[in-house]
Amino acid sequence: MSNWAVAEAKARFSEMVEQAQRKGPQQITKNGRPVAVVISIDEWKAEYGTERPKSSLAEFFRNSPLRGSGIKIDRVRLNPRPIKF
């Protein structure tokens, strides 16, 4: 994986994208620390697919690893602030 400083990545963006297509992931650093990676669309599709499945909030909770664990969360009941009309 090649490393690019943010300023260099910005100045040579087209070259960085081409390298991501030909040579694989390109890491971008800021102040010497990795902050982002540029990958080809083919690599991204292989990892994440073309579209993520859409699920409802109810499905999210149904599939939670905490479901059936017996964990109980108490509701905090505070007095709401008055609304001025």
Instruction: Provide the token pair at 41.
Output: 């669309």
**Domain holding 11: CATH number?**
3.40.1620.10
Contact 47, 57 (CB under 8 A): no
Q: Is residue 16 part of a domain?
A: yes
Q: Mind listing the pLDDT tens digit of every residue in the chain (85 residues)?
A: 899 999 999 999 999 999 999 999 999 999 999 999 999 999 998 888 866 667 888 888 888 888 888 888 888 888 888 888 8
Residue 52 has a pLDDT of: 65
Instruction: Provide the token pair at 76.
Output: 């905090």
Structural domain count of the chain:
1
Q: Is residue 14 part of a domain?
A: yes
Q: Is residue 81 part of a domain?
A: no
Look up the domain containing 28 and give its range: 2-49
d(CA 7, CA 32): 12
Residue 36 has a pLDDT of: 97
Q: Is residue 77 part of a domain?
A: no
Whether the model pTM is above 0.85: no
